[in-house]
Amino acid sequence: MKVAVLGAGAIGAYVGAALHRAGADVHLIARGPHLAAMRRHGVRVLSPRGDFTAHPRATDDPAGIGPADYVFLGLKAHSYAACGPLIEPLLHGTTAVVAAQNGIPWWYFHRHGGPWDGRRIESVDPDGAVSAVLAPERAVGCVVHAATELQGPGTVRHLEGTRFSVGEPGRGVSARCTAFSEAMVAGGLKCPVEPDLRNDIWLKLLGNISFNPISALARATMRQVCRHGGTRRVIETMMAETLAVAEALGCRVGVSIERRLAGAERVGDHRTSTLQDLERGRPLELDVLLAAVVELAGITGVPVPTLRTVHAISDLLALRSAEDAA
């Protein structure tokens, strides 16, 4: 199995190292000091489950890799539309693109069935720009239930979780999902093939849609936003509105809001990825989290006043942050 990891940051390098341990032919695509360190010393993984070092190939030139069986996308979703020149050399007729993104994916209504089948979600696929680069029929959905961070160039610290759920947009269990799952499991990760991954997407989104923007707006950790009475109530309302949209689309999350909050509080003083991006002057990945659900609420006719309010404020934060970075 040949796997190219496009965007070999904390999650991408962690997955690439695991697949390399399983015997896959892995190629990591990165740049800068991180790439130089991986070329020199491999990927060093520091984990409560045991440290290890893997030595997959690493490059900044996808053309030197050639077509792969799987491309694991470790990029942020807002980078998808511009990744055409990087991903094109990696594709052959049946290459699967495993998109490990937060939020609502561009392929969400591909082979969905029902009245919204094939509909484009503008907030995540504006004018079809992402679909033009990443054909939905190539997509294998992936929901990441793992936390990692780059401790330094070439070094990934695994914090918690090892589950990477995968699934077909058209539902069911396919051979390509099964083969990828088996390789991930052989590398020491959990990788269930979900018959309908959309339920898992909404489960993960329930936390991301609320904790991420609120933590960025408040400059606060998970524990802090859960323990503050005001922000806790806002998060509870956002979660309730999100569940209503999911149910209108036929999805069932199966986890109560109180249980989701309790789990987040146990994580402790963790800074969400959105807060980390804000602090580092990086683009905020809010379109696939908030804007997409607000758009889906409009499609389904579900009232989401709190989501709309938080989206408006956090959208201005994202714009101001981008201006400051520029």
Name the band, by pLDDT with cuts 50, 70 and 90, for residue 79.
very high
pLDDT at 159: 87
Q: Quickly list H helices, the chain.
A: 10-21, 32-41, 84-87, 129-133, 175-186, 197-218, 222-227, 229-248, 257-267, 273-279, 292-300, 305-325
Mean residue pLDDT across the chain: 95
pLDDT at 107: 97
Neighbouring CB atoms inside 10 A of 263's CB total: 13
What SS3 state is found at 75?
A: coil
Task: Flag whether the pTM goes above 0.95.
Answer: no
DSSP result, 212-246: HHHHHHHT--HHHHHHSHHHHHHHHHHHHHHHHHH
Residues contacting residue 291 through CB under 8 Å, at least 6 positions apart: 123, 124, 311, 315
Which is catalytic among the residues 2, 76, 190, 204? 204
pLDDT at 293: 97
d(CA 134, CA 122): 15
d(CA 215, CA 211): 6
Q: At what angle do helices 197-218 and 257-267 cross, to 10 degrees?
A: 60
**155-178 average pLDDT score:** 95
Is 76 annotated as catalytic?
Answer: no
Q: At what angle do helices 305-325 and 229-248 cross, to 10 degrees?
A: 110
pLDDT at 257: 93
- Domains, the chain, in order of start with CATH, read 2-195 (3.40.50.720), 199-325 (1.10.1040.10)
Count of positions (residues) in the chain: 326
Neighbouring CB atoms inside 10 A of 156's CB total: 27
Triad 130, 278, 6: Cα angle to 5°: 40
| Residue % of the chain over a pLDDT of 70 | 100
